[in-house]
Amino acid sequence: MGEILSTHLPSLLIGQYPNGPLGGLALTLILSVLGLGLAFPLGIGLALCRIAPYAVLRVPSTIVVYVVRGVPLVMLVFWSYFLVPTLIGQAVSAFTTLVVTLVIYQAAYMSEIVRAGIESLPRGQTEAARSLGMSYGRTMRSILLPQALYNMLPSLISQFVSTIKETSIGYVISVHELTYSAGQVNSALLTKPLQVFATLSLIYFVVCFALTRCAHAVDGRITRRRAGVTPLVESKVHDPVLQG
């Protein structure tokens, strides 16, 4: 078994590269970085709309977040696959569809984290800033967001882990990420599904577990640095809102 899998391990890790496009774990990581990276500014914007004093910003953003959180990821992928080419008038690769879906999905969840991060800051921060004469915008930009984002670092890493897991949905639209590659290997070998999918699970476990430990370590450092301010609760890293 070991030899069979070692011949196939490269395709699991990097797809058909260099004889074809990048795939496997490498593509999974690229998708995750792109997805979360683009979702981040969008998520901050969405969060600011959610807590904005104007209903015209609050209501639509709240609806968007609830819809995205209430619909399974696979349905969102199908919607994107259908709507994106229709809306921009030309064919779109499965890769792009997946990135768009991940960005929207993660933006909704990120906005909840950013919102919680801002709302968990002591009121005294806002009061002090406004007393100094700062406007709402300036207070948000210079005082609240920087602190909220620093506190959110463990949650961000945790979201990155979630995104990695979410890329597996690419299987359904034939994006050559890790799960799809494992499916390919399984079709090639036919008689070793247990070994193939156990290896698949092991790869995900190693990557995601390492990153989760990273998140815990960062959480610990932040708690120690901010000693005196309310320490972060452990649930920040395994926040149920963020999983799935």
Partner 1 sequence: MAINLNFGSLLAAPHLEHLVAALKYTAALTAASWLLAVVLGVVLATLRVTGSRSLDRGVAAWVAYQQSVPMLAHLFLWYFGISTLLPAAAQSWVNANNGELIFASIAIGLCMSAYFCEDVRSGLRAIPHGQQEAARSLGLSFVKSMRYVILPQAIRASMPPFINHTVILFKNTSLAMALGAAEMTYVVREIENQTFRTFEAYTLATVFYLAVSLGLMGVGVLVTRRLQIPAR
Q: By CB under 8 A, name the binding residues for partner 1.
A: 66-67, 69-75, 78-79, 82, 161, 164-166, 168-169, 171-172, 179, 182-183, 186, 193-198, 200-201, 204-205, 207-209, 212, 234-235, 238, 240-241, 243-244
Q: Smallest gap, in angstroms, from Cβ of residue 63 to partner 1?
A: 11
Q: Smallest gap, in angstroms, from Cβ of residue 137 to partner 1?
A: 32
Q: Smallest gap, in angstroms, from Cβ of residue 187 to partner 1?
A: 11
Pick 39 or 140: Cβ nearer partner 1: 39
Pick 147 or 167: Cβ nearer partner 1: 167
Pick 193 or 231: Cβ nearer partner 1: 193
Pick 129 or 196: Cβ nearer partner 1: 196
Pick 168 or 223: Cβ nearer partner 1: 168
Q: Smallest gap, in angstroms, from Cβ of residue 60 to partner 1?
A: 16
Q: Smallest gap, in angstroms, from Cβ of residue 203 to partner 1?
A: 9
Structure tokens at 52: 């904005």
Phi/psi at 90 (5° precision): -145, 165
